[in-house]
Amino acid sequence: MTCAAVWRMPKELESGSHESPDDSSSTTQTLELLCHLDNTAHGNMACVTWEPMGDGKKIISLADNHLLLWDLQESSSQAVLSSSTALEGKGQLKFTSGRWSPHHNCTQVATANDTTIRGWDTRNMSQIYCIENAHGQLVRDLDFNPNKQYYLASCGDDCKVKFWDTRNVGEPVKTLDEHSHWVWNVRYNHSHDQLILTGSSDSRVILSNMVSISSEPFGHLVDEDDLSDQEEHHQEEKSKEPLPDSVIATYEEHEDSVYAVEWSSADPWLFASLSYDGRLVINRVPRALKYHILL
């Protein structure tokens, strides 16, 4: 049985604490178990995700074919199931992953089951869009663009990464076909949404620069009053057309399937990857690309 629980981190480890976690004088901290998400009636948990904004009291969990919305009580010692819905259809339908959108006042969630991606309105648990056969095989992961409210990335066992506009789901906006085996993870950079990270069973991590579908396809908008004539001319030339989408770097430090990739929440140029061989690798965005984006 796969279950889920809510834990509280020690105050010393909370963000903003200046105490170094590797200080030799510090003792091992213990997490405090607040409550379990009781899913005995719904099956195995596939995914748990916090509400992106708000007071941190709402959680979505996916258990077999059930989408469950939990409300943490004031004391956080109890999680109450506030609403739920279930997939209906033939066969044993099961969710594989889900993502809570940071847009639309956090009222939308995207889920994946088999080859289908669905959007849900958490206010009434109704389905708002459905992308059937989004991938040729199982959809493994989803991620919302943090800056463009209708844009969603997906990846799956067909080795592809696809980008969708949820207002028009007939065709993907873009498709990346750089991996040679199942793609387990796709992640947008939190600050610069043209940077996309993917991890795959081909043991590689790929960093892509998807400028054309980012929130800044022509680079940063600069106040004209701050530009000299020469800089203005250069800015005009630069802004005529977006940079081409491209793979920036392929990282091959892993010797087995890469199951997780994640951007640092503190440093937008830092990311980590984790593989089946027990290896945790931390990398940086290449300096040349960093300065190109910033300047």
In the structure encoding, which two tokens stand for residue 262, read together? Answer: 């994640």
Instruction: List the structure tokens of 7.
Output: 């834990």
Phi then psi dihedrals of residue 199, to 5 deg: -125, 145
Contacts of 99 (CB under 8 A, 6+ apart): 49, 109, 110, 111, 142, 143, 144, 152
Distances in Å between the Cα of 182 and the Cα atoms of 30, 156, 278 are: 36, 6, 19
First-to-last C-alpha distance (Å) of the chain: 51
Predicted local distance difference test score (pLDDT) of residue 179: 95
- Amino acid at site 96: T
The pLDDT value recorded for residue 150 is 95
HEC string of 3-37?
Answer: CEEEEECCHHHCCCCCCCCCCCCCCCCCCEEEEEE
Q: What is the pLDDT along the chain (295 residues), one digit of tens a residue?
A: 888 999 988 887 766 555 555 555 567 788 999 999 987 888 899 999 999 987 889 999 999 999 999 999 877 788 999 999 999 877 778 999 999 999 999 999 999 999 999 999 999 999 999 999 999 999 999 999 999 999 999 999 999 999 999 999 999 999 999 999 999 999 999 999 999 999 999 999 999 999 999 987 766 554 445 555 555 555 454 454 566 888 999 999 999 999 999 999 999 999 999 999 999 999 999 988 888 877 7
Contact yes or no for 259/276 (Cβ under 8 A): yes
What global pTM score does this model have?
0.85
For 40-138, strand residue ranges (E) read: 45-50, 58-63, 66-72, 79-86, 95-100, 108-113, 116-121, 126-131
At 278 the three-state DSSP class reads: coil
Amino acid, res. 38:
D
User: How deeply is 244 buried, as exposed, middle or buried, from its count of CB atoms within 10 A (0-12, 13-18, 19+)?
Assistant: exposed
pLDDT at 293: 77
Of 140, 205, 145, residue with least CA distance to 174: 145
